[in-house]
Structure formats: structure tokens, C-alpha cells
């Protein structure tokens, strides 16, 4: 309907100067007219120019006051002409919003005497606000100062009207020609293709965005790191054990039971099930002995080791708990050199800030073989980190309960212009390995780092809560680039 009217009108006229007035004159809905104009303009039947007009309209509050009167007048009329009224009594006579605004405006206009008792200062007032609102509703112009005052009180707002002026386009026709998007079998058989106008292809049009899943930046970096470990002939350890016993998480690693890391303010202990019931008893006895009195060249810690502490269940604080299980399993068989790695979640009872969370991901690698030395560890670390694009490394002596010697790993960060700590490393102590059953010539070298830190550096994120947790922006997940770690 609207299309026929527009094309027919332009057949005898040069222009539709105002689509709004045109719609009114022809009894059409303006939104329908606008949609038709957009369609005709797209097919070049018409040329359309935007028209914008700004008009003042009453807000919902303004409409209310145009009908009922301004708050100040409503309040004034509620005050008795003679004498006074208690403030609490007056408040009951008018709407709470009207009372608050009315008191302020009426006092400002010096219409009433405010206090515990409220009385009139004048006997007659004009509701100028209501008059102005009615003028605006009727489409009349008002003074600029009055308009500014009404806007400040949020009684009127600017409404932008959008329409079009329309002229004939280069492909104008009084009736829209039939167009087709595809050459079909029916068109060919019937010969209709000779009389059909085909729609032009738009080779610049973008297709619909593909709907599908998106990998989180942590998963992208994790997969690249897994590829690097596999290229170095490492085997992934099963890490699907978030709940671990204190024995495998601490005791088997030669970490004393009075160590601060085993306090509840650093570790999440479980209430149910509170303790484990499955531990290798022979091995437990050897671990107890080395803690209490030492062995294998060690004096031990010299304290009474308690089984009930070792039995406590917790959320693992590091993936090294998995390493201790895997190494124990290796030691129970005829010796075969092993290279293991793991990348998975660990939990610590830490205060959450921009660089720390109560749960994060740990990357761990270890090599178990005969005759390994600190030189082998440094060589493996240089090979591993060079594949991550970190060629400049240096090492600093450190202390860990279950490695000796131990080293902190630093890499030179070109962007920051300084050395940055990137991980920790060391050789597992004899007090950890010998009770498992390894011979004296077998050593284990290991290192670990967090997954979040390199990911934050790679993707330019300075707050860990924007990377992991409920505050993650889904747009980051959908639009983050490929992870090119290890790709030369």
C-alpha cells in the first residue's frame, strides 16, 4: 500500500519534501512509509535524504503535573488559608514526592513559611509551571529560560524525530520490477528468464557471523604448551584428582607437618570426607621414618610424625602431588626413564587481588633418569623456555622443602626492560625419592610455573580476575587472537 502511494505520487511530482507530513496527508503509518523508502532507496528507485527535527515533549512526570498541577501549587493549596498546619499533618495530605519537591519550590518562591508549623505567606498564586507544560504539549514555543528550568527539573525532554525527503532515483519506475536472486530450473524451462531482472551480487556484503564455541585464552595457551611438551617427548600425567590427601600433597614430598603451608589459612581442608583411607602402608612407614629420624644421608626433622595429619583430605595446593604418585608408581616397577608433564588447576587459601586468586593453573615438568645433574636441569630449562620465545635466562639459588639444589628462574622481558621471575625448579631430594624405592643413581629434575602469568603477558591483561573467574568479559573469549607461542 505505502509503496504504491509513494511511487505513484513521484510519477506526477518532483519530490516528497517531508515523509511525516506525507504519511499524515495520505493516512499512512509513518514507520511503514520509512521502511518502504529505505527499501526503494536500496534498489535505487528513489533518492532519500535524512530529515531530523528536535522537539520538546513532556516526560512522564511532566504529564502528571500538566494534569494535576505543579508540586509547589499542590502543596500551597494543601496549606490552610488561615493559620498553620503541622508539617507531619501536611505530609499526610499530599504524595511523598510532591511534598518533598513542593516544600523546596514553594519556600524558594516565598509562598509559605516553613518550620514545624507551615503557613501561607501569600493568598493567591499562579501555577506557571502547569501553564508552561500545557503550552509545550500543545506545540507552542516558550521562553529559553523557562525551557532550561523545566529541563533541569526533568519535566521536559528533547525528542528527535527522523524522516526523509524523497526524489526519483536513477532506476525509478512507477511499479517495482520483479527481481530474482537465483536462476532456477523453472525460469529456464519456461523462458521467464528473458523478462526477469536479476538482483546484482554484492561482493562486499559480509556474511552472517559464524555461531560456535570459542576457546578461552587460558585453553589456547595450555594447548600450545602441551604441544611443546610433546615435541620434547614428555608424557602427560593424569591430573583429574582435585581432592588429595595431605600425605601425597605434603608428606611424600618431605614437607614437615609443622610447615606453614599446611595451616588452614594457606590450604583448603575438606570437612567431608575429612580423611583418606587408602595409603600404601609400607611406604607410609618409610616416609614417617625419614621425617622423624632421617636416612639416606639426612638427619630428618626430628619430630613425632602423626598419621592423622597425613590422612587429612584437602584441595591440592600444587600438581606436584600428582608427580609424587606417578614417581612412586614408577619406582615399584623395573626402572624406565620417564619424562612427565602436567597443566591443571590447584587451590590455595589466598586473599584475592589483581595478581592472586584462590585457584589457578600450574605447569609442571619433570625428568626421571639415572645420573641427572643440575647441568641437565639447566639444559632442559633452556630448551623448554626457548620454545616459548624466552632465550635469555638466569638462575638464582632458592629453597624448597622437597628439592635440593633449588633455583628460581628469571627471563629478560624486553617490554619491561628488566629480569622477571617466571618459575621455580630443582632436583628432588633423596629423602623424597629413596623411600619410594629408587636406587641411589636415579635422580629427578623438575620445574614449575603458573599458566596465568604468561597468558596475561601474552594478551595484555593486568588483572587476573579479568582472565579467570566470574568477571571475565565474554567478548575477550570471543575475540582474543591465536596463541603463537612456540611457532617460529
* Residue 487 pLDDT exceeds 70: no
pLDDT tens column, 470-485: 777 787 777 777 766 6
Residues 325 and 431 in one domain: yes
Asked if residues 383 and 401 have their Cβ atoms less than 8 Å apart, the reply is: no
Asked if residues 261 and 267 have their Cβ atoms less than 8 Å apart, the reply is: yes
pLDDT for res 468:
77
Residues 257 and 127 in one domain: no
Please report which helix (H) or strand (E) contains residue 113, including its range.
Answer: strand 112-113
Give, rounded to a whole angstrom, the gap between the first and last alpha carbons of the chain.
64
Report pTM. 0.57
- Total domains present in the chain: 2
* Residue 145 pLDDT exceeds 60: yes
Residues 299 and 422 in one domain: yes
- Tell whether 18 is covered by a domain: no
pLDDT tens column, 373-410: 999 999 999 988 888 878 888 899 998 888 989 999 98
Single out the residue of 10, 8, 54, 16 nearest to residue 165, CA to CA: 16
- Tell whether 21 is covered by a domain: no
> Interior CA angle at 184 toward 180 and 189, to 5°?
120
- 97 burial via Cβ count (<10 Å: 0-12, 13-18, 19+): exposed
- Tell whether 204 is covered by a domain: no
- Tell whether 449 is covered by a domain: yes
Instruction: Say how far apart CA 488 and CA 485 lie, in whole Å.
Output: 8
Task: Give the CA dihedral 386, 390, 394, 399, nearest 10 degrees.
Answer: -90
- The domain containing residue 226 runs over which residues? 217-479
Cβ neighbors of 225 (< 8 A, separation 6 or more) are 343, 363, 388, 451, 485, 486
Q: Does 355 or 44 have the greater pLDDT score?
A: 44
Give the largest CA-CA distance in the chain: 109
> Confidence class of residue 39 from pLDDT cuts 50, 70 and 90?
confident
Residues 232 and 101 in one domain: no
Instruction: Say how far apart CA 139 and CA 135 lie, in whole Å.
Output: 6
Residues 283 and 369 in one domain: yes
Domain with 98 in it: what CATH number?
Answer: 1.10.10
Long-range contacts of 289-296 (CB under 8 A, 24+ apart): 289/435, 290/254, 290/431, 290/434, 290/435, 291/251, 291/254, 291/256, 291/257, 294/431, 295/431, 295/434, 295/435, 296/430, 296/431, 296/434, 296/440
Residues 475 and 378 in one domain: yes
- Tell whether 333 is covered by a domain: yes
- Tell whether 74 is covered by a domain: yes
pLDDT tens column, 42-83: 878 889 999 998 888 999 999 999 999 999 999 999 999 888
Q: How would you list the strands of the sheet with 84-86, edge to edge?
A: 84-86, 117-120, 112-113
Domain with 454 in it: what CATH number?
Answer: 3.30.930.10
Instruction: Say how far apart CA 419 and CA 413 lie, in whole Å.
Output: 6
pLDDT tens column, 263-305: 756 788 888 898 888 899 899 999 999 999 888 888 988 889 8
Q: Does 418 or 166 have the greater pLDDT score?
A: 166
Instruction: Say how far apart CA 236 and CA 214 lie, in whole Å.
Output: 24
CA of residue 477 relative to chain centroid, distance? 8
Residues 305 and 448 in one domain: yes
Amino acid at each position: 500500500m505505502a509503496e504504491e502511494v509513494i511511487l505513484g505520487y513521484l510519477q506526477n511530482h518532483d519530490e516528497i519534501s517531508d515523509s511525516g507530513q506525507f504519511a499524515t496527508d495520505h493516512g499512512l503509518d509513518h514507520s511503514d512509509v520509512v521502511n518502504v523508502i529505505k527499501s526503494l532507496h536500496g534498489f535505487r528507485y528513489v533518492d532519500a535524504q535524512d530529515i531530523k527535527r528536535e522537539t520538546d515533549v513532556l516526560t512522564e512526570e511532566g504529564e502528571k503535573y500538566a494534569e494535576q498541577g505543579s508540586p509547589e501549587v499542590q502543596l500551597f493549596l494543601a496549606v490552610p488559608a488561615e493559620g498553620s498546619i503541622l508539617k507531619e499533618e501536611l505530609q499526610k495530605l499530599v504524595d511523598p514526592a510532591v511534598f518533598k519537591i513542593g516544600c523546596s519550590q514553594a519556600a524558594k518562591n516565598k509562598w509559605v513559611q516553613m518550620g514545624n508549623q507551615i503557613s501561607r505567606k501569600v493568598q493567591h498564586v499562579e501555577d506557571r509551571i502547569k501553564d508552561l507544560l500545557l503550552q509545550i504539549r500543545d506545540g507552542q514555543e516558550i521562553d529559553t529560560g523557562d525551557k532550561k528550568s523545566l529541563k533541569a527539573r526533568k519535566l521536559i525532554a528533547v525528542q528527535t524525530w527522523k524522516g526523509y525527503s524523497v526524489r526519483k532515483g536513477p532506476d525509478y519506475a512507477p511499479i517495482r520490477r520483479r527481481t530474482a536472486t537465483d536462476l532456477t530450473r523453472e525460469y529456464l524451462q519456461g523462458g521467464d528468464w528473458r523478462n526477469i531482472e536479476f538482483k546484482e551480487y554484492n561482493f562486499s556484503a559480509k556474511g552472517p557471523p559464524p555461531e560456535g564455541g570459542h576457546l578461552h585464552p587460558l585453553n589456547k595457551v595450555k594447548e600450545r604448551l602441551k604441544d611443546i611438551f610433546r615435541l620434547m617427548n614428555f608424557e602427560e600425567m593424569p591430573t583429574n584428582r582435585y581432592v588429595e590427601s595431605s600425605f601425597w600433597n605434603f608428606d611424600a614430598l618431605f614437607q614437615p607437618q609443622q610447615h606453614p603451608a599446611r595451616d588452614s589459612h594457606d590450604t583448603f581442608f575438606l570437612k567431608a570426607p575429612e580423611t583418606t583411607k587408602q595409603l600404601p602402608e609400607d611406604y607410609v612407614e618409610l616416609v614417617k621414618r625419614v621425617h622423624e629420624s632421617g636416612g639416606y644421608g639426612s638427619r630428618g626433622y626430628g619430630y613425632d610424625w602423626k598419621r592423622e595429619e597425613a590422612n587429612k583430605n584437602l584441595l591440592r595446593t600444587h600438581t606436584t602431588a600428582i608427580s609424587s604418585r606417578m614417581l612412586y608408581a614408577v619406582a615399584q616397577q623395573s626402572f624406565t626413564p620417564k619424562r612427565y608433564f602436567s597443566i591443571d588447576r590447584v587451590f590455595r587459601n589466598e586473599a584475592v587481588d589483581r595478581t592472586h586468586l584462590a585457584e589457578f593453573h600450574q605447569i609442571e615438568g619433570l625428568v626421571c633418569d639415572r645420573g641427572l645433574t643440575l647441568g641437565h636441569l639447566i639444559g632442559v630449562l633452556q630448551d623448554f623456555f626457548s620454545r616459548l620465545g624466552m632465550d635469555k635466562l638466569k638462575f638464582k639459588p632458592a629453597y624448597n622443602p622437597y628439592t635440593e639444589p633449588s633455583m628460581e628462574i628469571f627471563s629478560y622481558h624486553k617490554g619491561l626492560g628488566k629480569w622477571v621471575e617466571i618459575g621455580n625448579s630443582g632436583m628432588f631430594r633423596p629423602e623424597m625419592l629413596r623411600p619410594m624405592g629408587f636406587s641411589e643413581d636415579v635422580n629427578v629434575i623438575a620445574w614449575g610455573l603458573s599458566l596465568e602469568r604468561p597468558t596475561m603477558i601474552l594478551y595484555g591483561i593486568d588483572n587476573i580476575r579479568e582472565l579467570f573467574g566470574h568477571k571475565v568479559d565474554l567478548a575477550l573469549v570471543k575475540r582474543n587472537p591465536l596463541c603463537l607461542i612456540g611457532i617460529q
